[in-house]
Chains A and B, each alone.
Chain A
């Protein structure tokens, strides 16, 4: 549980652990019924339709949001950069 929370960058308090574990256990046991299905030799589907080679030409485009618009969103900034607590 704590490892999952760590991977998810969430924190769980002591009293949250048990009920959350119960929820996740029941969901995991529900999805585990997929094991009843024989999927030998079946290709997975990652995208519904067989599209391929959707790409663009290598040309610079203008965007609706400019640099100033984006940087204005930053909770903290300095010298046109986004400011965060020191990265170790």
Chain B
């Protein structure tokens, strides 16, 4: 990563990033730009450097921020009309930490509204286009962040991953994307989607850049009671696998998987083998239910978390208001996207009296079985390998008509989310048509750095 110093001016790094953003404007990567504040911050850093003062580990590095992280720079819209006028008076912990090290946000990246989606087509601000093929989707929900990284506008971008929202767009755009262990990074100040699986991660083009950014973002936060004690403390080269054995999840290579995707991921397994890892295929039948578990728990938490957007205290209040109920109903109706509404209604259905036990409680019990299956697998393997998504990037508009088809995109990413496990999307190759494909490495809780060190080993071997 290019960091500002005596020879590299932060202002030049920011200007270059802003110019690239302008060049790729048609991709609809950003919801809003932060040019003025970014240049001012860069000038401050350059001044510090000139004076010989200490600057941070990410001094002057431009980055893109998924537009669901709160900060004083720009509106935090979550790509939804109901929040598009919302200027946050607080700063997300992750943003505060990154910026304390000198990173400079150049723009707020597009996403599916409230992070509901796998294509960034559910944005109030229109879809973001795929970096390799502009007739295809960026993936999502962190589509803007992935494309900003893939197009080299920025060297890293922040995203959030609740069921695959970092990993899948990373796969579709050929960059690294990490969903850390649940609780590794504070959720404070990030617009909540599904609280029990929301994680904050990032995109970058090199494993060690991911590691650097994450080592800064991670850590226990008194403002988020679910954060884990600090553990992101090692040097990647010091992290060694205990067994040198990786489990290839056979269930993820069956029906519905694009053959090219399956081939590329298996080839990534071969590269691991070449580095001395033993690859063993195994079955995890419970995975079949992962998506069903997710599409009970997640909408329930979504419905709950989106209750606060009621038109009363901030952001959008409908103009069409005669009664209090109009404030609630019309503001929400005007402000949410169709997909938001669908999830709210499913969530309220599974939580409603009479259905709670059959759906919500049942799913949370099934979640226990899923976690048990992972624990069993990690008795044998250092990490698990499978595809990120069943297909490469699909065409814009291809899956918007049927929500369930879109949900099936998440089938291989949601299980790790439900178990809170770290999972890394590694750029593994391209299809004949030149579409990027990622491989997914899943590790036991808090083994995030092990996943990165494995990926780095492959990266290093290919650089030789």
Direct contact of A and B (CB under 8 A): yes
Interface residues of A (CB under 8 A from B): 4-5, 7-11, 20, 23-24, 26-28, 30-37, 39, 42-49, 51, 54-56, 63-66, 69-70, 72-76, 82, 84-88
Which chain B residues (299-340) contact chain A, with CB distance < 8 Å?
303, 310-317, 321-330, 332-333, 336
Task: Contact check, B445 vs A49: say whether CB atoms are below 8 A apart.
Answer: yes
Residue from A23, A55, A63, A70 with most neighbouring chain B CB atoms (10 Å): A23
Query: Interface segment, B113-121, B122-130, B151-159, B343-351?
Result: B343-351
Size category of the binding interface on chain B: 35 or more
Starting from the known contacts A42-B366, A44-B361, A85-B326, 7 additional A-B residue pairs (CB-CB under 8 Å) come to A5-B345, A7-B352, A27-B404, A28-B346, A37-B362, A73-B87, A82-B313
Taking CB atoms, residues of chain B closer than 8 Å to A45 are: 364-365, 367-368, 371
Q: Which of A36, A48, A56 has the most CB of B within 10 A?
A: A48
Whole-angstrom distance from the CB of B331 to the nearest CB of chain A?
Answer: 9
* B314–A42 touching, CB < 8 Å: no
Contact A31 B419 (CB under 8 A): no
Chain A residues with CB below 8 A from B295, complex form: 27, 30-31
Residues of chain B from 352 to 368 with CB closer than 8 A to chain A in the complex: 352, 358-359, 361-368
Closest to B295 in A: A31
Number of A-B residue pairs having CB atoms within 8 Å of each other in the complex: 169
Q: Does B32 contact A (CB under 8 A)?
A: no
Inter-chain contact B344/A85, CB cutoff 8 Å: no
B420 in complex: contacting residue of A49, A72, A74, CB < 8 Å: A49
**Residues 250-284 of B contacting A (Cβ, < 8 Å):** none
Please report the C-alpha to C-alpha distance between residue A35 and residue B363 in the assembled complex, in whole angstroms. 9
Contact of B292 among A24, A34, A85, A87 (CB under 8 A): A34
| Inter-subunit contact B332/A10 (CB<8 Å) | yes
CA distance A76 to B118 in the complex (A): 36
A62 to chain B, nearest CB (A): 12
A26 to B401, CA, bound (A): 13
Proximity string of chain B (191-226) to chain A, C-beta cutoff 8 Å, 1 when within and 0 when not: 000001100000000000000000000000010011
B228 within 8 A of A: yes
For A74, the chain B residues whose CB sits under 8 A away are 312-314
- Nearest-CB distance from B31 to chain A (Å)? 19
In contact, B369 and A4 (Cβ under 8 angstroms): no
The reply on B296 being an interface residue by CB < 8 A is yes
A selection of 18 A-B contacts at a CB cut-off of 8 Å is: A10-B333, A23-B402, A33-B289, A34-B289, A37-B362, A39-B362, A43-B368, A45-B367, A48-B445, A49-B420, A51-B226, A64-B90, A70-B313, A73-B313, A73-B315, A74-B313, A84-B327, A85-B326
Bound complex: CA A34 to CA B311 (Å):
36
Q: Give the distance in Å from the alpha carbon of A48 to the alpha carbon of B349 in the complex.
A: 23
Complex-state Cα separation, A75 to B335, whole angstroms: 14
Question: Distance (Å) between the CB of B199 and the closest chain A CB?
Answer: 10
Which residues of chain A are within 8 angstroms of B87 by Cβ–Cβ distance? 73
Task: Collect the chain B residues with CB atoms within 8 Å of residue A47's CB.
Answer: 196, 226
A84 and B312 within 8 A (CB): yes
Q: Given the interface contacts A39-B362, A39-B369, A49-B182, does A10 sit within 8 Å of B341 by beta carbon?
A: yes
Q: In the complex, what residues of B have CB within 8 A of residue A20's CB?
A: 342, 345
Q: A69-B89, A74-B314, A82-B313 are in contact. Are A37 and B322 (CB under 8 A)?
A: no
B310 touches A34 (CB 8 A): no
Measured between C-beta atoms, what is the minimum distance from B255 to chain A in Å?
Answer: 15
A56 adjacent to B365 (CB under 8 Å): no
A8-B324 CB under 8 A given contacts A27-B404, A43-B365, A64-B89: no
Q: Which residue of A lies closest to B361 (CB)?
A: A44
| Closest chain B residue, CB of each to CB of A6 | B329
How far is it, in angstroms, between the C-alpha of A18 and the C-alpha of B374 when the chains are bound?
40
Distance in Å: Cβ of B434 to nearest Cβ of chain A: 33
Tell me how far the C-beta of B406 lies from the nearest C-beta in chain A, rounded to whole angstroms: 11
- Please name the residue on chain A nearest to B367 by beta carbon: A45
Interface residues of B in 158-191 (CB under 8 A from A): 182-183
Report whether B345 and A24 are in contact in the complex, using a CB–CB cutoff of 8 Å.
yes
CA–CA, A33 to B293, complex, Å?
Answer: 10
Q: Is the CB of B324 within 8 A of A64?
A: no
Instruction: Name which of B228, B312, B365 has the most chain A CB atoms within 10 A of its CB.
Output: B365
* Contact A4 B362, CB 8 Å, known A34-B289, A48-B196, A74-B313: no
